[in-house]
């Protein structure tokens, strides 16, 4: 319980990659077009953010020589980091690992017979994955709880891998965990709508599910969107 004049202390943990794919990509906006600072003020809602309490976790983009797409992505990420650091965010990164994945054309693929007739037996593509971001986020949550840095951890992530850490924090330190989930309609691919993770709902103390309209106030109107 909090004293008469004592505010609840919070720390915010945002999984940047998870947030991008589940929310920003569905809304067709870049990280630079989203005000993380205003978003956090909304989540905090008149509570106190503890020292070093705004935390952003993401895989770092690497420029590939001759690839303009990766060059632009790296430039945008550097700009985002500059903005976040200006507002005293703690940024935790890991390297993005790229690997070649193969899809075999068989009866699991729609119209696979037509594809096979064209002589295509498999498709190879590059996929980049973050390594260790969930571990860093979970570790920081645990350490901050043990060191009594917050009363409530606000978690902006729908990664089930951090659930064991959340369960430990609640049972062993008696700290609260507030889950920020999303229900986002994807206008282009309706079967890929974002839905809140039931496991996170089950293992958190407080649940807040945000929709498209809830997030519109944090989209910077003065930045022209790019295709």
pTM attached to this predicted model: 0.81
Q: What is the pLDDT of residues 38-76, one digit of tens each?
A: 999 999 999 999 999 999 999 887 766 677 777 888 899
Mean local confidence (pLDDT), 141-156: 97
pLDDT band of 119, cuts 50, 70, 90: confident
C-alpha 149: how far from chain center: 22
Computed over every residue of the chain, the mean pLDDT equals 86
Positive or negative CA dihedral for 166, 170, 176, 178? positive
Structure tokens at 175: 């700290």
Rounded to whole angstroms, what are the CA distances from 116 to 72, 103, 106, 109, 123? 36, 13, 8, 11, 11
- Residue 224: what pLDDT? 43
Per-residue tokens: 216: 């519109």
- CATH number for 9-95+130-218 (one of 3.40.50.1010, 3.40.630.10, 3.40.50.1000, 3.40.50.10860): it is 3.40.50.1010
Is pLDDT above 80 for 220?
yes
Give the closest residue to 139 by CA, choosing from 173, 166, 160, 172: 166
User: What residue ranges do the domains of the chain occupy?
Assistant: 9-95+130-218
Give the pLDDT score at 124.
55
Question: pLDDT, tens digit, for every residue of 83-92?
Answer: 999 999 999 9
**pLDDT at residue 71 in the model:** 87
């Amino acid at each position: 319980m909090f004293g008469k004049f004592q505010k609840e202390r919070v720390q915010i943990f945002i999984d940047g990659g998870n947030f991008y794919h589940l929310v920003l990509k569905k809304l067709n906006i870049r990280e630079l077009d989203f005000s993380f600072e205003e978003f956090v003020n909304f989540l905090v809602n008149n509570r106190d953010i503890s020292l070093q309490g705004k935390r952003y976790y993401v895989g770092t983009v690497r420029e590939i020589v001759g690839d303009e797409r990766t060059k632009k992505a790296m430039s945008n990420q550097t700009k985002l980091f500059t903005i976040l650091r200006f507002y005293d965010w703690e940024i935790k990164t890991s390297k993005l690992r790229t690997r070649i994945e193969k899809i075999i054309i068989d009866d699991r693929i729609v119209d696979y017979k037509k594809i096979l007739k064209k002589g295509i037996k498999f498709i190879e593509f590059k996929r980049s994955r973050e390594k260790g971001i969930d571990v860093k986020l979970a570790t920081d949550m645990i350490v901050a709880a043990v060191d009594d840095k917050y009363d409530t951890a606000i978690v902006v992530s729908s990664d089930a891998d951090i659930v064991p850490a959340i369960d430990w924090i609640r049972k062993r330190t008696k700290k609260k965990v507030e889950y920020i989930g999303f229900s986002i309609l994807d206008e282009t691919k309706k079967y890929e709508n974002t839905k809140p993770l039931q496991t996170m709902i089950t293992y958190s103390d407080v649940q807040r599910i945000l929709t498209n309209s809830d997030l519109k106030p944090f989209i910077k109107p003065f930045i022209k969107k790019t295709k």
